[in-house]
Structure 1
């Protein structure tokens, strides 16, 4: 298994040189086609006490601004990719989250930037990372804030015995195979609350695929903090996890670990749902 097509999702509000470098580097390492994508839309006219507010000139200016930003992003991606990466560019005046989810059908892996917070979102100009992870049907690599490259020498697999975690382990295999050390870790919140059978099985599964993996049980009352602290204690630059959430009143509500990982901009996070 490998990644033959990587979708790079770019936010028009950001100047993500580091994200572009990281995605181009991954495409080179896996000899993958890179699909650069940018989307944004103009909000619809707002209703006021006097009726519908419609300023055609203002809307046209916003549209022109978006299209100018598309051109800048495309030029940046083409410059970093050069002639060494097979590149496709996509752009559209559309809601970003919806368009990225649709485009996920063309890719093995989605690479995107780290949100300021998991709930920080302008639906017309930015991607809702949580909705993307839970709906794309593809693994999502949420890059650390200033990461120029995913070295991936040390990786942590955050293990829970769930469908989402199993999916994440399988989806991350191409990256885990390149790591020098992979630790499959689960958090014991109270003494005797977990069995080593799960992490042992997953570590053995990975080793059969050629991954240098070992199991680990770490203790901590707060699962999220314990996982992140463990990842930093071994200087891991990648954490692999399942993503857990459900929709409530059209908003994504996440489990504590998923939300904490989405908000932790210091780690590269690989998530599957």
Structure 2
């Protein structure tokens, strides 16, 4: 897939400017259109949730504050796009973040979201946002870690977490344009068995036919979880982007027993693009 249409999730939260900066930089890099969707409803307060602070007045005040933020951000966004000759669109809506992002996903190639924090009770809904959109949108979701410096490169040194699964294959195909533009691509295989070793050679040949020269990294044994091993390997090789499949096991199993997706959503310190 070629990333020619980027959808970025915006809200009145601490990381919205970082997401927008990343989106415009990637749009310029890939000659892509960027669609900015600013959702005025508080990100931690879906319409069906009632709890701390979920009074009518709280929601009104939070929405008014978000609308003011949106108006200011829109001008900065338009100025940046026009200055850099970036094709763009700006949309402001109120409602459930998951539903609205899923609705707009049909006209995008990738969605940019932020990694959730875990400082407050409401943060559990931000975690749900990343998980649900990855599963429901049918698109690769680029998760930007908390506190990320948007001026840093993304996609120069890319690690692909490879395993012979549908999700990993989808992740590779979803991100061919990113891999093709990278200076270096690493194919990571952990505890490879016979089937994985065969598929690793096949995917290497597949990438080569797409003019992508990849280097293979194999880790035979690890005492850490697979998620931590993948992330540590990406950091060890100074990668600035991790490409992986999401929810290779059943979602229920990952929720209760943990898994690669859950680890990366909670602990990643570099951008991660996930496909399901």
TM-score norm. by structure 1 comes to: 0.84
* Alpha-carbon separation, structure 1, partners of 2:122 and 2:115: 11
Q: How far has the Cα of 1:228 moved from its partner?
A: 1.1
Distance of aligned partners of 1:102 and 1:46 in 2 relative to their CA distance in 1, 3 Å threshold: closer
**Total equivalences in the alignment:** 263
How far residue 72 of structure 1 moved from its aligned partner, in angstroms, is 3.0
Instruction: Give the superposition deviation at 1:58.
Output: 5.2
Structure 2 CA distance for partners of 1:150 and 1:71, relative to 1, 3 Å: same
Question: Structure 2: how far apart are the matches of 1:95 and 1:27?
Answer: 26
Alpha carbons of 1:217 and 1:45: their partners in 2 closer, same or farther (altered >3 Å)?
closer
Larger helix share, 1 or 2: 2
Matched residue of 1:17: which SS?
helix
Q: Distance in 2 between matches of 1:266 and 1:236?
A: 11
What SS does the aligned partner of 1:14 have? coil
Unaligned runs of 5+ in 1: 49-53
| Counterpart-to-counterpart distance in 2, 1:122 and 1:71 | 28
Matched with 2:80 is 80
User: Contact (CA 8 Å) 2:164, 2:195: kept in 1 or not?
Assistant: no
Secondary structure at 1:13's aligned position in 2?
coil
Counterpart residue number, 2:104 = 103
> Which residue number in structure 2 is paired with residue 138 of structure 1?
139
CA contact (8 A) 1:110 1:141 kept: yes
Are the structure 2 counterparts of residues 209 and 259 from structure 1 closer, same or farther at C-alpha, using a change threshold of 3 Å? same
Q: Distance in 2 between matches of 1:167 and 1:111?
A: 18
Alpha-carbon distance in structure 1 between the residues aligned to 2:257 and 2:87: 36
Larger Rg: 1
Check 1:65–1:216 CA distance in 2 against 1; reply closer, same or farther (3 A cut): same
Distance 1:261 1:14 in 2: 20
2:94 matched residue in structure 1: 93
Q: Deviations over 1:87-137 (max 9, x none)?
A: 1011111011111111111101111222225x96365x8971111111111
Distance 1:136 1:93 in 2: 19
Structure in which a larger fraction of residues adopt strand: 1
CA offsets, 1:185-219, max 9 Å, x none? 11118xx6874222221111111111121222113
Given the two structures, how large is their TM-score scaled by the length of structure 2?
Answer: 0.83
What is the RMSD computed on CA atoms of the aligned residues?
A: 3.1
